[in-house]
Amino acid sequence: MPSPIAKDLIDRIKNRESIIGIVGLGYVGLPLMLRYCAIGFRVLGIDIDGNKVDKLNAGESYIEHIPARGIAHARETGFEATTDFERVGECDAIILCVPTPLNKHREPDMSFVINTTDAIKKYLRIGQVVSLESTTYPGTTEEELLPRLQEGGLEVGNNIFLVYSPEREDPGNGKFETRSIPKIVGGQTPGCRKVGIALYEAAIDRVVPVSSTKAAEMTKLLENIHRAVNIGLVNEMKIVATRMGIDIFEVIDAASTKPFGFTAYYPGPGLGGHCIPIDPFYLTWKAREYGLHTRFIELSGEVNKAMPEYVVARLTEGLNQQGKALKGCRVLVLGIAYKKNVDDMRESPSVEIMELIRARGATVAYSDPHVPVFPKMREHHFELSSVPLDGESLCGFDAVVLATDHDSFDYLLIRQHAKLLVDSRGRYRSPEANVVKA
């Protein structure tokens, strides 16, 4: 049976009387905020970025696929954004949606999670639930959050509650919305799990409880490792097939006709986004603590990490066949978001391709309708704006590299006017004299 405090909190959530606090207002936090606002909760958003807070309070959006009208409507229903962490004391639920990157040694950088927990712990009170949604290694919730929540004398499972519920956002995927993506919930105690289920059942169509926070953490990693390993496999198959003169996309389409035992994964120029290039290495790092070596994960990481180099090698080969060296050429990269039809630049392989091209002495430019100006990034620096695509501009480049296949590109125009077209996404299936498959 849940404690009286847990029962009271569950009742408050069910009656829409609770205040939801969301810490981290990015690709995960904003859709979640909109969902809770839409069903009648009052939501307080907290972020360290004052510019984001000001835009949200003005009813503006800074993420392309989240329309400003949604933010404005949330403001009308009581949503407020702030940089003041002291205000977590007003909230009944605090949902943490902060980044979990890797450091330069490919080890987990837990600073955002730890610093955020340290920032809120002094303001926590009896009758709250804290939920971590950031992807991380199994044991994070128990090892890092649990002791911090109890430093001030609160008791997790009795008068404050701790859960882990991994985010499952897929920016730009119109087939799913926040409410329709099943939610995994693991609690630090059975009572915590009951509170977590109530928190998410209010907003999500299907909640899937698991036995512990560790099981929930491992579930998220398995989902992303499954994709990373299979993408690594198909990227390696692409290299082999290309050398043999076989179209790997034709092979995948043919294999996909098998009604059982095969799932189609498609090759590309490398992995991007916040999850797939990063999350598998959280498990490889944690596995070493147990004396284990995760060979499949690390091998797929090596294959996927090498794909930008492969694309540039194919670019160099194509130029050589035209009697040109890459050094001194002008190269246009098409699409610099990590996936098509979004403006999300996190871990985009396109940017690494741009850096490799520049390092080899070529002049690089880009065109991406979703990213009009190259943004400020921690590790990548280009003073560039998106080049408009027309016949004249395309003819001004020695080569064009298709890195991200946005639907809005005019692929016929590109093929007609590109002197050399390096296709890393399989958009050009029929043989063309000016097309090099990569």
Whole-number Å distance between alpha carbons of 362 and 401: 13
* Lowest-confidence segment of 79-83, 168-172, 273-277, 366-370 by average pLDDT: 273-277
Sign of CA dihedral 270, 275, 280, 286: positive
Whole-number Å distance between alpha carbons of 296 and 278: 15
Residue 280 has pLDDT above 90, yes or no: no
Q: Which domains does the chain have, with CATH numbers?
A: 4-212 (3.40.50.720), 254-437 (3.40.50.720)
Strands 330-334 and 363-367: parallel
Average pLDDT over residues 47-75: 95
The pLDDT score that the predictor gives to residue 107 is 83
Question: Starting from the edge strand earliest in sequence, which strands make up the sheet with 160-164, in order?
Answer: 80-82, 42-46, 19-23, 93-96, 128-132, 160-164, 183-187, 207-210
Residue 303 has pLDDT above 90, yes or no: yes
Average pLDDT over residues 318-341: 97
Residue 172 has pLDDT above 80, yes or no: no
pLDDT digits (tens, 9 = 90+) for 88-111: 999 999 999 999 988 877 788 999
Q: How many CB atoms lie within 10 A of CB 314?
A: 20
What mean pLDDT, rounded, does the chain reach? 95
Structure-block tokens of residue 6: 């847990």
Structure-block tokens of residue 228: 């990373």
pLDDT digits (tens, 9 = 90+) for 389-415: 999 999 999 999 999 999 999 999 999
Residue 379 has pLDDT above 90, yes or no: no
* Terminal-to-terminal C-alpha distance of the chain: 59
Q: How many CB atoms lie within 10 A of CB 15?
A: 10
> Catalytic residue at 275?
yes
pLDDT digits (tens, 9 = 90+) for 220-263: 999 999 999 999 999 999 999 999 999 999 999 999 999 999 99
Whole-number Å distance between alpha carbons of 260 and 225: 21
Residue 430 has pLDDT above 90, yes or no: no
Average pLDDT over residues 266-272: 93
Set 91, 97, 275, 329: catalytic member: 275
Structure-block tokens of residue 51: 């510019």
The pLDDT score that the predictor gives to residue 272 is 86
